[in-house]
Structure 1
């Protein structure tokens, strides 16, 4: 394998990472550090040479990962220390979340914080004994030398510490299940009240700086709390407040600098409390979750509400961005765009946000007489609008992050023009800026690996968008086509039809084995896609994937799902029910099982048993810190309400359209939408669903000798009401 010594001419040889498929690992292929990938080769060298392991975990769009790399991993002196004293392993956290999860738990337990880059020192047996995140270059060298000295002088001490840590983590992950599941109403109310208390009424969101959207912990839950309590007289006021907090937060995000005003899409978070200065990386999982939240919340608002229009625009913005910039030619969605980029084509040093920011002078040059109104509307200042306290490295000095500082009405009043004229001015100005940016500025680095789990989240968002986006919003390709092509890509490239197993990622070939979130998020996406498309192949695939998830991840000795696939080098198989930047696989699986027990109702008892097992496994956390499991609690609320099967008889698309439009016009978290085309009944799904089998028999008997009429049957507790053939009556029943 390649080393990092220099040739006689001084030309550096590439290290082992040059053979990797991960964009993050490839970013380090020219480091003078003698990197290994996570695997047996590295572990064998560590044991043979009795060296500790330095484990570096990050991802390709991570700004501070780049900083650490430039300051330390590209430095010859630092690399020499690393190569002499350690076996150095580089891990892409997005490809190996199991490795990341285990050692991040250690980092958080020992330092009280976490984040990336993550730096962990391990014994040759993979037991951690020290960890941190980003270290400045001088401090990093000191830590490297000190820990090398400790290992050399007393390796036994490090081994004992490491073993003790792993045993503690193993004990913590084996918390006994409890059949005493907390009262769902009390648990949900406690989350609502916590969010209400933490709500920032001025800027939106539920924390101070830095501010993350975190849909899984906030807007996702609040939408469900609102929808499921809106018709309860005692809870209606809380439901309205929950809805309004979530809607206001999403609109503040949309109007803030966290949105790329020029090119669409949303950054991962803002470094300030008002959503202004972003950390500029764009992640697919954020786009997918924000898309779902924007659609769901818009469905909770009246058709005429201005806020609904803004949320619909937000959804369209996300769809356009991912279709244009994160979509592979074959239909799968890429993972991320970097925070850093070159300011111009002749630049050699990347800067954070360089692709996105503007000086007032450049805007004057590009926009001419339109510049003043544009700058006023988007909060541009002559000397830049980025607070120096939020610009640690000084890369944004003199620059402006565009955000909606004033409404169109305010701008029109300021410049004595009509709102229509101002909106035309803003539109043409944004087109000019995009043309300039696309021509003159290199795009940020694209992480072009295609992750199964994040594509699942995007399939969900796109499916919901295809159902609920206003007809006036005409997107090409349309959201349903994008969702179906993403699902087709995953099935073709990252799925083994014979074994039923998923791969985690795809880039120039399949990547590592799939993890629990790959199954959970894709199953959720496929159920959403079935409801949007009516194609039973998606629900059939979801049923098979659930079987495989149960086989690979279910804890047969306890209950609940392990987060990681079996792997002898993962010393503790952990269960992580807590939501973070993404919802937990455990929580998504809980609601998948609820939905599947109504799609494939013949398996109802088995699915419900596993769903209850998840709650029993997480009963302690649900009782003590339910806000950490907000996604699960949202699913519990829907399950307690009782899922409704809405069986739509669809003789033709045109005849079914009015009924589907009524169903899809409102957010119904406990909905299970089943499509029944009399000409092509869903026979595969009917094999799993007694109710559907009976309905197909009724349709095919054709008792009255007439063609089947479009209708909706509402089934609860596996008992169906009579078919409703009047659209207004369907609307009345659903509104009750």
Structure 2
């Protein structure tokens, strides 16, 4: 329990911050500073160590640590007396700070996570770190480290210096010659690793806690499967592995959709599950999870070439995410907010927040709200009289007697159980969910909304929405809505987070632009604009992607050793790191690899430059690729697509939707590049950097722009004859073999 003295109201420097995470701690009794020169100067002047706390606004255990320790008068007094306290660094706004000290935390303890607590010398060198500490333990550490700094300061400084040198060495591994990186075996190694870790009962990979982690799993598996299933020359063993890869990915996504990690009442997915079966989540919802799950569900939807329950579920999953972000994570101006919190007040009269309070239900509540339909509803969604949350996964006892709804039975099983038709059963379930949604919205305060708008995560969501408009084109309303949302997000970023004069991005927006853009802001946004161009046929999106790539190369490319730095130069960041490992999001450099490969075929006159930079990414990460390719699954995916070879599909026609385009978009072709030529609005700017387009435009001009709609398929920069018939095009597509 916290010993916080709530009778005294404090206001510290964080009251002037823009970050929702920092503002959450503006009334702590701790004398907080933001990350910056003022804090560093004070530490040097007073010769005090720095206590650095890193987290994010939707982080449940960040709130627990704050409530137990940072709101406590006695603990705050210790911190203020012995340390200069830098709180808070929002890891979403300053990933460069988070990345450096998380690397130290992982190296020194073998683990990581948030909240992250790090003790630094006044020169910003780390000498001790951890994550969440219970209040008694936290005070002990504060007291002990203060003594060590007072009586054995040189040992701290010497130790921190050695740590820093080790981090510098590990972050500057010499690049491998391109020819020495054996890329061909790597996809098989990543597949085998995932196959060994696959949970054949519950889906997912590894044990509890379970994160969806699409970048590390389903994104790779979909591309591995497509590469072999569309290869007529693949061996039987390759075909078998490809089927297994697809099936593992599909099974995992279906389990995620049917688990409690999905908010069955309001849509969207929580960040992770504390148990092995996707049932009890930590309830925060993150935009980057929604975006990546959306893209993966669409990949796998396309990989299933025949109608099935799983294919329908994947479509429902995609639509669920689009609906959720449209309703709850979208700003009036069109940008997407970052997250919703795990904790909330159970009622409008409550004063203490609880994790999951907005989402969970007692059986008595459901009985009262649903009346005669309650028994059927509760059977379908796994409700138990005493609650369905395992106490072993409820450390703080906040879920006792509560139910996290999940799909315990199919509609057919529920219909059979209650002697009803499937159609009537689904009507009852739908009506019940609406009743709960209306009740929840009226009687329960929503969790805190982190309303900062991040460039990088908006880039991921633009990709997912652009893909939705292509893949779910048969549902005109959903496809149109998704494309409109992607366009609006793009317009918001261009209007609020982009400096037209310098070409630079800002990272975040909340009451104005925030910190400068990082490598993932450029990489994810470029990917988003390439996807949006292919979906919309709007040349402007492609031109902006090209400009952003030029700026990313200028700011982050390493001309000496190749590859890309993850952060911009900053005098307070002791090491510019090249972080290629995937985490909750794909690594920026892996997305950059794929972007460069696509751009080499969109702006083919620049092919040599883009290709050289792409190869430098692989060579600069050669040692890690060789030792642990599974840690760089997104990069391995990019290398796999390059090895397979990209295919240019050049569509000539006035419409961005047509039978030829619909067929092109109906197949999962991860190595596809789609180029649009509208005879009535020729892409003359693109033609300046693409010789093939220049030639086609010249041909159109010779004929007065009169041509029948067609698609040309080009490989190795050699184009085939125009295809005007849908059946002819079907024979040319690398169709995934249905098995």
Same fold, TM exceeding 0.5? Answer: yes
Counterpart in the other structure of 1:29: 26
Offset from partner CA, 1:330-351 (integer Å, 9 cap, x none): 0000000000000011000000
Contact 2:473 / 2:479 at 8 angstroms: preserved in 1? no
SS at match of 2:658: helix
The alignment's TM-score, normalised by the length of structure 2, stands at: 0.97
CA distance in 1, matches of 2:410, 2:153: 64
Offset from partner CA, 1:384-407 (integer Å, 9 cap, x none): 000000000000000000000000
Of 258, 262, 265, the match for 1:259: 262
Contact 2:682 / 2:697 at 8 angstroms: preserved in 1? yes
Counterpart in the other structure of 1:158: 156
Of 547, 551, 572, the match for 1:544: 547
Between 1:388-397 and 1:293-302, the stretch displaced more is 293-302
Counterpart in the other structure of 2:188: 189
SS at match of 1:564: coil
Query: What are structure 2's unaligned runs of at least 5 residues?
Result: none
How far is the alpha carbon of 1:308 from its aligned partner? 1.1
SS at match of 2:446: coil
Structure 1 vs Structure 2 CA RMSD: 1.3
How far is the alpha carbon of 1:240 from its aligned partner? 1.1
Contact 1:662 / 1:731 at 8 angstroms: preserved in 2? yes
Q: Map of 1:641-720 to 2, 5 A cutoff?
A: 641-653=644-656, 657-702=658-703, 707-720=706-719
CA distance in 2, matches of 1:155, 1:372: 66
Tell me the matched-pair count.
Answer: 725
How far is the alpha carbon of 1:470 from its aligned partner? 5.2
Contact 1:504 / 1:512 at 8 angstroms: preserved in 2? yes
Contact 1:312 / 1:470 at 8 angstroms: preserved in 2? no
SS at match of 1:299: helix
Offset from partner CA, 1:33-53 (integer Å, 9 cap, x none): 000000000000000011100
Between 1:476-485 and 1:97-106, the stretch displaced more is 476-485
How far is the alpha carbon of 1:197 from its aligned partner? 1.4
Between 1:338-347 and 1:192-201, the stretch displaced more is 192-201
The 1:724–1:50 alpha-carbon spacing in structure 2 relative to 1, beyond 3 Å, is same
SS at match of 1:184: coil
The 1:427–1:10 alpha-carbon spacing in structure 2 relative to 1, beyond 3 Å, is closer
CA distance in 2, matches of 1:13, 1:412: 57
Counterpart in the other structure of 1:108: 106
Of 515, 518, 522, the match for 2:521: 518
CA distance in 2, matches of 1:447, 1:706: 50
Of 269, 279, 304, the match for 1:301: 304
Contact 2:680 / 2:705 at 8 angstroms: preserved in 1? no
Q: Map of 1:78-117 to 2, 5 A cutoff?
A: 78-90=75-87, 91-117=89-115
Correspondence 1:481 to 2:484:
yes
CA distance in 1, matches of 2:684, 2:9: 62
Offset from partner CA, 1:569-603 (integer Å, 9 cap, x none): 00000010000000000100011000000111111
How far is the alpha carbon of 1:194 from its aligned partner? 1.1
Offset from partner CA, 1:252-274 (integer Å, 9 cap, x none): 10000000000000000100100
Query: What are structure 1's unaligned runs of at least 5 residues?
Result: 1-5
Contact 1:320 / 1:475 at 8 angstroms: preserved in 2? no
Counterpart in the other structure of 1:3: none
Offset from partner CA, 1:494-520 (integer Å, 9 cap, x none): 110000000110000000000000000
Counterpart in the other structure of 2:504: 501
Counterpart in the other structure of 1:139: 137
The 1:487–1:156 alpha-carbon spacing in structure 2 relative to 1, beyond 3 Å, is same
CA distance in 1, matches of 2:639, 2:627: 16
CA distance in 2, matches of 1:706, 1:29: 63
CA distance in 1, matches of 2:119, 2:714: 56
Contact 2:469 / 2:478 at 8 angstroms: preserved in 1? no
The alignment's TM-score, normalised by the length of structure 1, stands at: 0.97
Offset from partner CA, 1:672-718 (integer Å, 9 cap, x none): 0000000101111111100110011111211xx78211100001111
SS at match of 2:303: coil
How far is the alpha carbon of 1:10 from its aligned partner? 7.7
SS at match of 1:249: helix
Contact 1:562 / 1:576 at 8 angstroms: preserved in 2? yes
Q: Map of 1:159-558 to 2, 5 A cutoff?
A: 159-179=157-177, 180-232=179-231, 233-234=234-235, 235-469=238-472, 471-472=474-475, 474-475=477-478, 478-558=481-561
How far is the alpha carbon of 1:477 from its aligned partner? 6.8
CA distance in 2, matches of 1:204, 1:605: 42
How far is the alpha carbon of 1:156 from its aligned partner? 1.4
Between 1:473-482 and 1:76-85, the stretch displaced more is 473-482
CA distance in 1, matches of 2:247, 2:473: 21
Offset from partner CA, 1:96-153 (integer Å, 9 cap, x none): 0000000000000000000000000000000000001000001100100110011011
Offset from partner CA, 1:20-71 (integer Å, 9 cap, x none): 0000000000000000000000000000011100000000000000000000
The 1:676–1:476 alpha-carbon spacing in structure 2 relative to 1, beyond 3 Å, is closer
